Amino acid sequence: MSERSLGKDLLGLESLTAEQITLILDTAEPFKEVSERPIKKVPTLRGKTIVNLFFEASTRTRISFEFAEKRLSADTVNVAALGSSVQKGETLVDTARNLEAMRIDMVVIRHPSSGAAQFLAERIRSNVVNAGDGTHEHPTQALLDLLTLRDKFGRIAGLKVCICGDVLHSRVARSNIWGLLKLGAEVAVCGPPSLMPLGIEELGVTVFRRIEDAIQWADVLNVLRLQLERMHAGFIPSLREYYRVFGVTVERLERAPKDLVILHPGPMNRGVEIDSRVADGPHSVILHQVTNGVAVRMAVLYLLAGGRPELAEAAKGKGEVAE
C-alpha cells in the first residue's frame, strides 16, 4: 500500500504505517478551517453517497461523521439498528449485500462486535470506515486525539501519554496505543488490574498500578469512560471506590511535577473517572478534541474517496459552493 494513500478502508490503526497516520493528520489541517467559515461547505465529495450504519447508540461520533460528510457535500443516509431490518433479524452480510446493490460509495459503521467493520469491508466494494467495532478499534477517535496532541505540543514523538481506566473494554485505548506507538510516543496504561487485558505489556506499553504514579510520569492523560455495567459484572466494587482510587482529581494533578494535558473521548462520567473541575479546567482539551473530530473525519473520507493529499488545500476551495 502506498504511503500516500490509505487503501480501500479505514478499519484500525494497527494496520497503518506511521506515514499513513501522519498523512491523515496532515490532510486534516486544511479541513479545520472549513468549519470556521460562515458557510461550512466545500464541494469535494459532491455526488458521493455515504451510509452511516450505526448498530450501537452514538451521539458524538455519528454527528461528527455526519457534519464531516455534509461539509464535504456528500449525500448521506443514516441507518440506526433500531427500527431497521437489522432489528427484524437481518444478518450483517445481507445488510452489506443490500447496500452494495444500492451502489453506495462509502459506509461508516459502528457495531457492538469486534471485527464487524472488517467483516463488512471484505464483502463489499464500497469504502468502509470503522466508527468503532466492539472492543477492537475506534480509529477516528485516536486520530482526533493525535491531532489534538500535535496541536498542543507540536509533535507526538517523545510525548508520555497514559491511558487511564477500563482498557479491557476500550476500543479507544487500543487505537490510541497503536497510533501513539507508531508516531513515537511513550505509552502507559493505568487502571484496576481487573480491567486490564492479558498481554497488554507485550504491545509495548508500561503498566501503572496507581494513578499517582502515572501522574508523576505523564505529559498527557487520556481518561477513558467507565461504564456503569462494569460494576454490576463484578469488575470493580463500586463507582465510589473507583473515583477514590483511580479518579483524575484536581488534588492529584496538583502534585504532578508539570502541567498535564487531559483528554477524554466522551461522554464523561463526572465524578467517576474524572473530577468536574478537571474536565472544565485549564488542562482539559476535551472540546478541542470534538472540534478536531470533524476535520479528521473529513480527511479520512477525502483520502478514501481517492483525494490526493497535496490537493487537500485546493480541494476545500476558496469559499462557499453553490448547490
Partner 1 sequence: MRPLLLRSGRVVDPSQGLDEISDLLIREGKVAGIGRGLGVPDDAEVVDASGWVVSPGLIDLHVHLREPGQEDVETIASGARAAAAGGFTAVCAMPNTDPVTDNQAAVGFIVKQAQAAGAARVYPIGAISLGQRGVQLAEFGELVSAGAVAVSDDGRPVASSHLMRMALSYAQTFGIPVADHCEDPTLSGGVMHEGLVSTRLGLRGIPSAAEEIMVARDLLLAELTRGHIHLCHMSTKGSVDLIRRAKDKGIKVTAEVTPHHLILTDEACLGYNTHAKMNPPLRTAADVEALREALKDGTVDVIATDHAPHHYDAKEREFDDAPFGVIGLETALALGITQLVRPGILTLAELIDRMSCAPAKVFNLPGGTLRPGTVADVTVFDPEARWKVDPERFYSKSRNTPFAGWEVFGKVVMTIVGGRVVFRSGAD
Q: State the catalytic residues.
A: 60-61, 88, 110, 138
Of 35 and 58, which CB lies nearer to partner 1 in the complex structure? 58
Beta bridge mates, 75: 49
Of 158 and 237, which CB lies nearer to partner 1 in the complex structure? 237
For the record, the C-alpha cell of 148 comes out as: 489534538
Shortest distance in whole angstroms from residue 306 CB to partner 1: 25
**In the complex, which residues of this chain contact partner 1 (CB under 8 A)?**
14, 91-93, 111-116, 118-119, 133-137, 171, 174, 197-200, 202-203
Shortest distance in whole angstroms from residue 5 CB to partner 1: 21
Shortest distance in whole angstroms from residue 320 CB to partner 1: 41
Measure the CA angle with vertex 97, ends 93 and 100; round to 5°: 140
Cβ atoms within 10 A of the Cβ of 236, count? 18
Of 200 and 256, which CB lies nearer to partner 1 in the complex structure? 200
Of 43 and 197, which CB lies nearer to partner 1 in the complex structure? 197
DSSP-derived letter for residue 46 is T
Under a CB-based contact definition with an 8 Å cutoff, are residues 222 and 285 in contact? no
What backbone phi and psi angles, to 5 degrees, belong to 88? -85, 10
Cβ atoms within 10 A of the Cβ of 84, count? 14
Across 296-314, b (16+ Cβ under 10 Å) vs e yields bbbbbbbbbbebebeebee
How many angstroms from the chain centroid is the CA of residue 157? 19
For the record, the C-alpha cell of 145 comes out as: 486525539
**3-state DSSP assignment of residue 249:** coil
d(CA 20, CA 9) in angstroms, rounded, equals 12
Of 14 and 100, which CB lies nearer to partner 1 in the complex structure? 14
Locus of grid cell 463507582: 239
Shortest distance in whole angstroms from residue 136 CB to partner 1: 3
Shortest distance in whole angstroms from residue 194 CB to partner 1: 13
